[in-house]
A and B are shown apart, each in its own frame.
Chain A
Amino acid sequence: MTWMGICWLLYKMNVKARMQYRLNFVLMTMLASVVTVAEFLGLAVVLNAFGSIKGWSVWEIGYLYGVLMTAKYVYRAFGSAINNFEPYLVNGQLDQLLLRPMPLLLAVITSRTRMVGGELLQSLTVLGVCIARLLSEGRVTPWILPQTLFILATGTVIMFSVGLATAAIGFWITRVEDLSVLTDNATTTACQLPLSLFPDWLRTLLLAVIPFGFINYVPAMHIVKGEWGGWTLPLTGAVAALSLAAALWLWRIGVTKYQSTGT
């Protein structure tokens, strides 16, 4: 069996394992969408009351939100183990993964699957509605569709890379759950909004250190606002590739530092 085949098999097994708790499975997928709808509602209510923020209309901000969240859920779908890496380090779950004849990262990723159907549906709906609205207002061309697909891919890669780097740091400090609140939750919340709202230092942080700004803001400045040139897209791709390379390098070193637990 090829590597793809093995990954697919593991994915199926993870789903099967979750389905052992049948009632729970259905409830889970239902509740998942409710949760994300509520999250979006919080922001939407504010936006609805005031129309626009600093020149960004509700639909444009909705586009930012849709791209960011779709990238996030695609990342969560296959990278859920990386996002919740601390148990692997604390409970020594990593030991048994190191005994398998496959690259460790692959073993970790395939050890856990998260159902994101409901959440993905919600973020794609928001994205779709906003794109439709922007198209009907004549502010964007149909080029927005392939461009959006491209930045969804690069966005997922960037999110994964940051998550991987955070997890890799766990090999040194173990307690990374709190760190990931900074590198994942806080950054995601910030990037739901246009970065022009924030003070310089925060903007620099989100562009140069934890490049979440390249998931939606930078490309959207070209795709949606038309204020920046076409260079934004190749730059986004480069940032994504660079982040991935850096994260993988950090991971490789981290594995040699693994301390394991137990007597």
Chain B
Amino acid sequence: MHILEVKGLAKTFRTSVPHKGRFGAVRSLLSREKRTVQAVKRLDFAVEQGEFVGFIGPNGAGKSTTIKMLCGILHPSEGEVLVFGRSPQRERRQVARRIGVVFGQRTQLWWDLPLKDSFAILAAMFRLTRSEKERQLDLLNEALSFRDFWDTPVRKLSLGQRMRGDLAAALLHDPELLVLDEPTIGMDAGAKRQIRAHLKFLNEHLGKTVLLTTHDMNDIEQLCRRVIVINRGELIFDGGMAQLRGRIGMPTLIRVVYRREPKLPDAELWASQPRPFRIAGRRERELTVSCNRTETRVLDVLRALGEWGEVDDVLVEEPDFEDIVHEIYEPAK
């Protein structure tokens, strides 16, 4: 049984739009146009136990909507979603007991009370015995170290501390699936690194399945073995990181510095035939070329470049992950 299964999922919203134009404001008083927005058009995917899946897409792509349907917050317009084989819409409470959810922009903790009170309440809600609760807290504290601010009211915590608290709260009832919506948003680099380490621990050592949405590509690169790309409510890519790079075939950049001015072939002659690599730029003794690593070996390129002069220094650059992803969202013409 899949941990999570999404079949033909779609969600349409109806919003009202105010009239435009000269008397638009007054006309809006009397009637408003209805507009339908297809936030999610059709999604199909499944997640197995132990996976760490990254869920990315530009703003408005439908990521949050999908997450909310997984949790039972929203009801799909079409299709279905199954978590542990159950529908979060029909069996919301049972599903809630087996998943842990963290929204980066909103906390689930009780704002005015000390952190420990939030855990007391959650433990009561999830019917944990005192010993179960203590055992779980000790375990989580190893990874998240929240006992340091155990007595502090949540409203006084820093963003990083609050997120650790939220993660612990989401895991208190020991769910198998952890769903995170932008957990590192607004954090400084140090805090982000810490959270990533915690998540890695939770996935690799405690065996939690994690579904993560984020805008930070570093999160994806460092944590996820699988990436799902969504744009305009449709699934554009679903696969591993290597696949992702390969699919775009974005060029690797090779920068060579010659000892003396190189002797380059005639530009027109060069461009007239298909070549294994392309000349991207030239500045004095520095030459930049681009090639597709899936087709051409770097060594072959260097050998060819060596024929134009004596190579002094070489630099090989992989395309930025962010650029790869943007290529997927909006392929350059």
Binary per-residue interface labels of chain B (149-178) against chain A in the complex, 1 for a CB within 8 Å, 0 otherwise:
000010000000000000000000000000
Q: Which chain B residues numbered 73 to 131 have a C-beta less than 8 Å away from chain A?
A: 73-75, 89, 92-94, 96-97, 101, 103, 105-106, 108, 110-113, 117, 120-121, 124-127
Please tell me if the beta carbons of A99 and B124 are within 8 angstroms of each other in the complex.
Answer: no
Does B13 reach chain A (CB closer than 8 Å)?
A: yes
Tally inter-chain residue pairs, CB-CB below 8 A.
71
* A13-B117, A20-B153 known; A98+B72 contact, CB < 8 A: yes
Q: B93: which A residues are within 8 A, CB to CB?
A: 101-103
Please tell me if the beta carbons of B117 and A16 are within 8 angstroms of each other in the complex.
Answer: yes
A5 to B106, CA, bound (A): 27
Q: A99: which B residues are within 8 A, CB to CB?
A: 71-73, 96, 101, 108
Q: B126: which A residues are within 8 A, CB to CB?
A: 101
Does B19 reach chain A (CB closer than 8 Å)?
A: no
Does B136 reach chain A (CB closer than 8 Å)?
A: no
What's the minimum C-beta distance from B139 to chain A, rounded to whole angstroms?
Answer: 21
Please tell me if the beta carbons of A258 and B110 are within 8 angstroms of each other in the complex.
Answer: no
A257 to B75, CA, bound (A): 7
Partner of B112, one of A6, A17, A258: A17
Partner of B74, one of A5, A17, A18, A259: A259
Please tell me if the beta carbons of A95 and B73 are within 8 angstroms of each other in the complex.
Answer: yes
Partner of A6, one of B68, B75, B101, B125: B125
Q: Which chain A residues numbered 70 to 95 have a C-beta less than 8 Å away from chain B?
A: 92, 94-95
What's the minimum C-beta distance from B290 to chain A, rounded to whole angstroms?
Answer: 35
Nearest A-chain residue to B181, judged by Cβ: A262
What's the minimum C-beta distance from A198 to chain B, rounded to whole angstroms?
Answer: 30
Please tell me if the beta carbons of A10 and B68 are within 8 angstroms of each other in the complex.
Answer: no
* A98-B92, A262-B64, A263-B64 known; A13+B73 contact, CB < 8 A: no
Binary per-residue interface labels of chain A (227-263) against chain B in the complex, 1 for a CB within 8 Å, 0 otherwise:
0000000000000000000000000000011111011
Binary per-residue interface labels of chain B (46-74) against chain A in the complex, 1 for a CB within 8 Å, 0 otherwise:
00000000000001100110001001111
What's the minimum C-beta distance from B101 to chain A, rounded to whole angstroms?
Answer: 5
Size band of the interface chain B makes with A: 20 to 34
What's the minimum C-beta distance from A101 to chain B, rounded to whole angstroms?
Answer: 4
Please tell me if the beta carbons of B105 and A13 are within 8 angstroms of each other in the complex.
Answer: no
Q: B120: which A residues are within 8 A, CB to CB?
A: 9
A96 to B104, CA, bound (A): 12
Please tell me if the beta carbons of A95 and B103 are within 8 angstroms of each other in the complex.
Answer: yes
Binary per-residue interface labels of chain A (87-120) against chain B in the complex, 1 for a CB within 8 Å, 0 otherwise:
0000010111011111110000000000000000
A6 to B106, CA, bound (A): 23
Please tell me if the beta carbons of A258 and B73 are within 8 angstroms of each other in the complex.
Answer: yes
Q: B124: which A residues are within 8 A, CB to CB?
A: 1, 5-6, 9
A81 to B253, CA, bound (A): 59
Partner of B110, one of A1, A5, A13, A102: A13
Please tell me if the beta carbons of A98 and B125 are within 8 angstroms of each other in the complex.
Answer: no
Nearest B-chain residue to A261, judged by Cβ: B64
A18 to B126, CA, bound (A): 24
A99 to B108, CA, bound (A): 9
Nearest A-chain residue to B75, judged by Cβ: A256
Nearest A-chain residue to B105, judged by Cβ: A262
Nearest A-chain residue to B59, judged by Cβ: A263
What's the minimum C-beta distance from A111 to chain B, rounded to whole angstroms?
Answer: 10
Please tell me if the beta carbons of B105 and A260 are within 8 angstroms of each other in the complex.
Answer: no
What's the minimum C-beta distance from B140 to chain A, rounded to whole angstroms?
Answer: 18
Q: A17: which B residues are within 8 A, CB to CB?
A: 110-113
Q: B59: which A residues are within 8 A, CB to CB?
A: 263
Nearest B-chain residue to A257, judged by Cβ: B75
A260 to B66, CA, bound (A): 12
Q: B101: which A residues are within 8 A, CB to CB?
A: 99
Please tell me if the beta carbons of A96 and B60 are within 8 angstroms of each other in the complex.
Answer: no
Nearest A-chain residue to B126, judged by Cβ: A101
Q: A257: which B residues are within 8 A, CB to CB?
A: 75
A5 to B13, CA, bound (A): 38
Please tell me if the beta carbons of A16 and B71 are within 8 angstroms of each other in the complex.
Answer: no
Partner of A13, one of B63, B113, B127: B113
A108 to B63, CA, bound (A): 26
What's the minimum C-beta distance from B5 to chain A, rounded to whole angstroms?
Answer: 20
What's the minimum C-beta distance from B114 to chain A, rounded to whole angstroms?
Answer: 10
In the complex, given contacts A13-B121, A257-B75, what are 20 additional A-B residue pairs having Cβ atoms less than 8 angstroms apart? A13-B110, A16-B113, A17-B112, A17-B113, A95-B68, A95-B106, A98-B92, A99-B73, A99-B96, A99-B108, A101-B96, A101-B126, A102-B93, A103-B93, A259-B13, A260-B68, A260-B73, A262-B64, A262-B105, A263-B59
**Could you name 30 residue pairs across A and B whose Cβ atoms are closer than 8 Å?**
A5-B124, A6-B124, A6-B125, A9-B120, A13-B110, A13-B113, A16-B113, A16-B117, A17-B111, A17-B113, A20-B112, A92-B106, A94-B73, A95-B73, A95-B103, A96-B103, A96-B106, A98-B71, A99-B73, A99-B96, A100-B125, A101-B93, A101-B97, A102-B93, A102-B125, A103-B93, A104-B92, A256-B89, A258-B75, A260-B74
- Taking Cβ atoms with an 8 Å cutoff, the residues of A that contact B are 1, 5-6, 9-10, 13, 16-18, 20, 92, 94-96, 98-104, 256-260, 262-263
Task: List 6 A-B pairs, minimum CB-CB distance, nearest first.
Answer: A17-B112, A101-B96, A101-B93, A98-B73, A256-B75, A20-B112
- Taking Cβ atoms with an 8 Å cutoff, the residues of B that contact A are 13, 59-60, 63-64, 68, 71-75, 89, 92-94, 96-97, 101, 103, 105-106, 108, 110-113, 117, 120-121, 124-127, 153
